[in-house]
Amino acid sequence: MADLRTRYLGLELRSPLVASSSPLTGNLDGLARLEAAGAGAVVLPSLFEEDLAEETRQVDALLATGATGAEARAGHPDHAGYGAGPAAYLSLVAQAKAALSIPVVASLNGVSRGGWVRYASRLEQAGADALELNIYYVSSRPGLSASEVEWHYLDVVRAVRQAIGIPLAVKLSPYFSSLANLAGQLAEAGADGLVLFNRFYQPDLDIETLEVAPRLELSSSTELRLPLRWIAILHRRFGISLAASTGVHTAADVVKVLLAGADVAMMTSALLRNGPDHLRPLETQLRDWMDRHHYERLDQLRGRASQRSVPDPAAFERANYIKTLASHSGPAADRP
Report the interface residues with ligand FMN, using CB under 6 A. 20-23, 45-46, 107, 109, 134, 171, 198-199, 216, 218-219, 245-248, 267-270, 272
Of 107, 102, 78, the closest CA to residue 268 belongs to 107
Phi-psi sector, 266: left (phi>0), alpha (psi -120 to 50), beta = beta
Give the Cα separation of 125 and 122 in Å (integer): 5
Secondary structure of residue 320 in the 3-state scheme: helix
Cβ closer to ligand FMN: 250 or 309?
A: 250
Give the Cα separation of 80 and 108 in Å (integer): 15
Cβ closer to ligand FMN: 23 or 69?
A: 23
Minimum gap (Å) between residue 250 Cβ and ligand FMN: 12
Cβ closer to ligand FMN: 91 or 221?
A: 221
Of 100, 24, 80, 1, the closest CA to residue 266 belongs to 24
- Distant-in-sequence, close-in-space partners of 167: CB < 8 Å, separation ≥ 6: 9, 10, 11, 129, 130, 131, 192, 193
Contact call for residues 188 and 170 (beta carbons, < 8 A) = no
Cβ closer to ligand FMN: 197 or 316?
A: 197
Minimum gap (Å) between residue 23 Cβ and ligand FMN: 6
- ∠ CA 225-228-231, rounded to 5°: 150
Minimum gap (Å) between residue 202 Cβ and ligand FMN: 13
Give the Cα separation of 301 and 215 in Å (integer): 38
Cβ closer to ligand FMN: 151 or 200?
A: 200
Contact call for residues 157 and 137 (beta carbons, < 8 A) = no
Minimum gap (Å) between residue 102 Cβ and ligand FMN: 17
Minimum gap (Å) between residue 144 Cβ and ligand FMN: 23
Minimum gap (Å) between residue 26 Cβ and ligand FMN: 8
Cβ closer to ligand FMN: 161 or 199?
A: 199
